[in-house]
Amino acid sequence: MSDARSRLALGIAAGALAFYALFYAGDYALHVLTRAGIYAIAAIGYQLIFGRLGALSLAQGCFFGLGAYAAGLGAVEFGLGFPLTLAVGILLPSLLAALIAIPVLRLASHYFALATLGIAQLALLVATNWTEVTGGANGLYGVPPAEIGTASFGHGLPLTILVWACVGLALLVSHRMTAGRRGLAVETLREAPLAASALGIDGAAIRFRFFVASAAFGGLAGALQAHAVGVVSPDVLQFHVLVLILAMTVIGGRASPLGAVLGALLLIHLPEWFRGFADYYLVIYGAALLAAAIFLPRGLAGLFGKRTTPVIERGEAAIPRSPVPLGLSVETVSKRFGGVIALDGISLTLTPGEILGLIGPNGSGKTTLVNLISGIEKPDDGRIWLGGADNTGRSPEYIARSGLCRSFQHPQIAPDLTVLESVEAVAPERESAPERLSEVGLSGRANGHAGTLPPAALKHLEIARALAAGASILALDEPAAGMNEVERAELSALLKRLADAGHGILLIDHAMDFLLPLADRVICLSAGQVVAEGMPRDVARDPAAISAYFGESPL
């Protein structure tokens, strides 16, 4: 579905909802609609951390409950007005999220889930047992209705309008956080985290920002809940709150703010629609959820389709000069994994415009060396210099932004992004992305999804992304793997053009008929050490290099 049709459908749906609330819904229907709006805000926030980043946080219900308690205590104990209680309800969970983000966001997926679950359970225990502050199991009573100046939003249509105005604000903020290149970078981070960091995307900053924002949305929803109901009890911190928000996000569409709203409307109204079935309504309710999960894998938002990006197809473009020609110097670098010495005192240099081949048998340390150069691993000894600056131990994001990007043996992509969007995700200026695709011969595939590309085209896409990220040096790990002779010839021509334009290229490949004619110099590794170095024809005849590959020297 096109953008115009999506906007039209959204406008019609919003108009129908407003018409229903203004002219048809009774008091109870407005109460249900208000509750749906409150949970929609929490789901929009949860979508940022779970839907966008794929991190299974089990603390969104906790943030919801903390927002409710903060607003309730602010109003009941300190006499704060509604705008201030709303601010406190947002601030407390945001501060908690910021405090725990640095340690928990470093954890692997299942450990992250367990850590956030532990935090949620701790909050529930505090709320239940800190009786003198929270009221314990009885909770807080007498939370006043929302008032702004002389306007009261205690119940009925005014409260519904207030809540859905907050939904609109939440949608706007979420859109600003995920629109355009930011959203493409986030999807790349979720689907290909190593590639994202190697292309300069600051994953740690994005995760922190989205985790705190999800807590803020949860706190806003909880604060509205406190004023809408007038009571805050430990029930708002129970696990079922998180489960409901999670279900709304999945069924609505985990990557769409609109989906979060649709999921909230559906899941809050379903029990009401099926309540007439008495003892069977829970079965029907569960069957409806299962059907939505099976037949709508992209959620309800998938019914609105996915935006496509038009592009003007171009022929192969001339490659511009390297942005800032850089040299690379590796000085006696070593790396150990436990008792295994992966690299032992390796040194090399790479000058602008040079293609340096790196060969050696499996396990010789080639990929480990590229991991060290690109920042994915940290060296135990030695120094790594890029353009005269000491980059030893720097993060992959820093190294990529400094001008060195790498590819991977198995290309890492976000399959649902188009080819053009994959490049736009890392390009400082989105307008340059079509040029980068043209340089590597992928203009004709710009509108196709990256996940549909054949292996050879994926390798070209990796190079296009590196160029878009501003790379002066490219470290390419097995770029010709799986290619036929024609594809290798095309890749070889591309790499020669890049070198002629001033790019330094560190090239790893097992295909000697591809690498040797292309490289200016070759280094051969074996057991983590340099055993041969020099011109390609000399290294190919070197007894130590031959022994490294075949286990014996020629007679």
Q: What is the mean pLDDT of the chain?
A: 87
> At residue 1, does pLDDT exceed 50?
no
Q: What is the pLDDT of residues 129-144, one digit of tens each?
A: 999 888 888 889 989 9
- CB of 50 within 8 A of CB of 245? no
* 454-464 average pLDDT score: 94
Q: Is the confidence at residue 368, as pLDDT, over 50?
A: yes
Closest CA to 375 of 335, 337, 324: 335
The two most distant CA atoms of the chain are separated, in Å, by 99
Q: What is the pLDDT of residues 230-251, one digit of tens each?
A: 999 999 999 889 988 988 888 8
- Per-residue HEC secondary structure of 224-266 comes to HHHHHHCEECHHHHCHHHHHHHHHHHHHHCCCCHHHHHHHHHH
CA distances to 45, 166, 427, 469 from 169, in Å = 12, 5, 29, 33
Residue type, 20: Y
Output the CA angle 377-115-63, nearest 5 degrees: 120
Confidence band for 7, pLDDT divided at 50, 70 and 90: low
**Dihedral, CA atoms, 454, 458, 459, 460, nearest 10 degrees?**
100
Mean pLDDT confidence for 75-89: 93
Q: Is the pLDDT of residue 314 over 50?
A: no
Confidence of residue 150 (pLDDT cuts 50, 70, 90): confident
Q: Is residue 87 scored above 50 in pLDDT?
A: yes
The superfamily in CATH containing domain 328-550 is: P-loop containing nucleotide triphosphate hydrolases (3.40.50.300)
Return the exposure string of 263-288: e unless at least 16 CB atoms fall within 10 Å of the residue's CB, then b: bbbbbbebeeebeeeeeebeeebeeb
Q: Which two tokens stand for residue 402?
A: 């400094």
Q: How far apart are CA 181 and CA 166, in angstroms?
A: 26
Instruction: Report helix, strand or coil for 555.
Output: coil
Could you tell me the sign of the dihedral formed by the alpha carbons of 457, 396, 468, 4, in that order?
Answer: positive
Which residues, at least 6 apart from 457, have a Cβ–Cβ distance to it below 8 Å? Answer: 442, 445
Q: What is the pLDDT of residue 333?
A: 95
The radius of gyration of the chain from alpha carbons, rounded to an integer in Å, stands at 28
SS3 content of the chain, % helix, strand, coil (to 5): 60, 15, 25
- Which of 205-209, 324-328, 365-369, 391-395 has the weakest average pLDDT? 324-328
- Give residue 439's Cα distance to chain centre: 27
pLDDT above 90 covers what percent of the chain? 61
**Which residue is it, tokens 């009401």?**
272
Q: Where in the chain is CATH 3.40.50.300?
A: 328-550
Please provide residue 324's backbone torsions phi and psi, each rounded to the nearest 5 degrees: -140, 100
Q: Compute the distance between CA of residue 271 and CA of residue 258 in angstroms, rounded to an integer.
A: 21
Higher pLDDT, 105 or 467: 467
pLDDT band at 124 (very low <50, low <70, confident <90, very high): very high
